[in-house]
Structure 1
Amino acid sequence: MRKTRFFFILGFVCLLALPLLAQEKPGTVGVVFIVKPKAGMRQQFEQANKRHIDWHRQQKDTWAVTVWEIVSGDRIGQYGYGTFGHHWKDFDGHAKFDEADMADYLANVAPYVEPVVASYSIRHPELSRPMEGDATLSEVVEYHLNMGGESDFLLAVRKVHEAIQKSNYPMYYYVRELYNGGEHPTYVFVFPHKNWADFEPPEQTFLAMLEKAYGRDEAESLLKLFDKSVRSVRSQIIAYRPDLSYSPSAK
């Protein structure tokens, strides 16, 4: 009788905990700001950014701010600010802080930069393969799709992702879908790297891995499906700047 009562209470407690567990699911929304320092003001911009990050630290901001420098492509010399892992409702709760944040930014950093570009995106964890450890660099590849080509693109990406997972192919990536702030439909793949040496491709080629997983015909069909759905590709390499970034957990 006691055992029955124990399991009844345990089950009831678990039912009560289900809504809490659902709330703890990580958010997938991120916002990115791209800024360009004014000509000859890179050093002043970085010093101003450090002061602004100190302001975040003093205010005990609960959101992390990751800063990176773009080191290749047509945006070379520009910087990105990103905050990720949010739910949409989180932006309502952070609105008051954002007002003060913007005021400090306009007063201290804005004089050294050109107009800011902002975009919102959604992370797809089911299509991503995170790398263990910290990245110092990342390849960022934007895929701008043809209208009506999104379903074919996602089908090909899912199949390739499954092959990579099953074969444990040494390739890691985060997949984000542009929600607002650019051309649609657009998907962004971020390939993290520990260092420059990590850019060296694996001994087994990507095509060989795909052919081993699906056979030559299906592998070629997947690649053709992928290529057909893509209108244009834009790529760049970014270098993370922890000295310009902020983390609530950092001392």
Structure 2
Amino acid sequence: MSENLSYLLKIKSSFKMENHKNRIAYSKENNDWSLLLYLKRQRRYLNKKALFLCTLLFAGFMYGQNATIGQFAIWKPKNGESENFEKGYKQHLNWHKVNKDQWGWYGWFFISGPRYGQFVDATFDHIWADFDTAVKPADDMADNKLNVFPFGDVQTIFKVENVPKASSIDTFALKTKLIKLVTLTVDNVEQSIRVSEKLKDYYVSRKIKFYKTYKVVDGGSVNQIILMLGFDSWNDYSLSENLHEKITEYQQMLKIKTISAVESETMIYRPDMSWFPNS
């Protein structure tokens, strides 16, 4: 960002000192007031343009670079209430739509692992301040109590931070049919991210739909890293069957041993239990 600002200021300074100064002096000497007026207007225009570009750069730095926070909520439908839970949750999503919520909400069910049958809702690409301005929190909770809580219990809510250097780019690719969710318990988060960077490069080279790395930052064990690998079919899913071996390989390559446990679960995407503004 500093390089871009310096470049803009350099252009502005150069134009003022070399072009405007000489041309305005020439205009005065020759009584060419129309040219003088034109040059003054051009200078004002360039000043405004430089300010606009600086504002865009600053906004991109403040918001684009920091929009890395996500939140997961895990629900367990009550015994015999799975169908009612789904209906109630869909009604609650409609509340978000009616109230013009600008957050996107993903919905998945676990179909393997210790949380089999539990539901996940998640939202991504936030800055921390977004959680200060969530849409009508009291009304949101009231609608949850009316439509969802009678049929399901919240197991946990936790927040994560995306690690861009260890993640592929397109968040909206999270809409793949299947997601392999891998929880790493680690002794050193930063060293473990180095391993995840290697994994990302490997799986991206294998044409995986997406690969995401998240650090748990609140609501859970902060010595855990969550990996999300996306697939459109079980045939594609087979690309991940050697994940544990690749983790071992890259730890040995990097001469580190920081990952103490690896747990794998699979989630299936439910577009009918997801909602996104402007879609």
TM-score (norm 2): 0.73
CA distance in 1, matches of 2:112, 2:155: 19
Q: Does 1:196 align with 2:234?
A: yes
Identical aligned pairs, as a percentage?
Answer: 26
Q: Does 1:78 align with 2:109?
A: no
> Which residue among 207, 215, 222 is the counterpart of 1:184?
222
CA distance in 2, matches of 1:208, 1:73: 19
CA distance in 2, matches of 1:143, 1:127: 14
In the alignment, structure 1 segments of 5+ residues that lack a partner are 211-217
Which has the larger Rg? 2
Are 2:70 and 2:124, in contact at CA under 8 Å, matched by a contact in 1?
yes
CA distance in 2, matches of 1:156, 1:238: 23
1:51-94 CA distance string (max 9 Å, x none)? 11111111111111111111000100000010111000111111
> Which residue among 252, 264, 270 is the counterpart of 1:241?
270
Are 1:124 and 1:175, in contact at CA under 8 Å, matched by a contact in 2?
yes
Residue 150 to residue 240, structure 1, CA distance change in 2 (3 Å): same
Question: Deviation of residue 114 (structure 1)?
Answer: 2.5
What is the RMSD of the two structures over their aligned residues, measured on CA atoms? 3.0
Structure 1 residues 23-42: aligned runs within 5 Å:
23-25=62-64, 27-42=67-82
Equivalent residue pairs, number: 234
CA distance in 1, matches of 2:119, 2:141: 17
Question: Deviation of residue 208 (structure 1)?
Answer: 11
> Which residue among 139, 147, 155 is the counterpart of 1:100?
139
Question: Deviation of residue 142 (structure 1)?
Answer: 0.3
Q: Does 1:116 align with 2:147?
A: no
CA distance in 1, matches of 2:196, 2:64: 24
Residue 102 to residue 159, structure 1, CA distance change in 2 (3 Å): same
SS in 2 for 1:50: helix
Are 2:159 and 2:217, in contact at CA under 8 Å, matched by a contact in 1?
yes
CA distance in 2, matches of 1:14, 1:193: 39
Q: Residue 213 of structure 1 corresponds to which residue in structure 2?
A: none
Q: Does 1:144 align with 2:182?
A: no
CA distance in 1, matches of 2:104, 2:58: 26
Question: Deviation of residue 127 (structure 1)?
Answer: 0.9
Q: Residue 7 of structure 2 corresponds to which residue in structure 1?
A: none
CA distance in 2, matches of 1:93, 1:191: 30
Could you tell me which amino acid in structure 1 is paired with residue 71 of structure 2?
A: V
Are 2:198 and 2:250, in contact at CA under 8 Å, matched by a contact in 1?
no
CA distance in 2, matches of 1:208, 1:108: 44
CA distance in 1, matches of 2:180, 2:244: 19
Q: Residue 253 of structure 2 corresponds to which residue in structure 1?
A: 222
1:95-121 CA distance string (max 9 Å, x none)? x52221111001211011134310010
> Which residue among 158, 161, 170 is the counterpart of 2:207?
170
Could you tell me which amino acid in structure 1 is paired with residue 97 of structure 2?
A: R
Higher fraction of helix: 2
Give structure 1 regions of 4+ aligned residues with deviation exceeding 2 angstroms.
4-24, 130-134, 149-152, 154-165, 168-172, 205-210, 218-225
> Which residue among 187, 195, 198 is the counterpart of 1:156?
195
In the alignment, structure 2 segments of 5+ residues that lack a partner are 1-18, 20-38
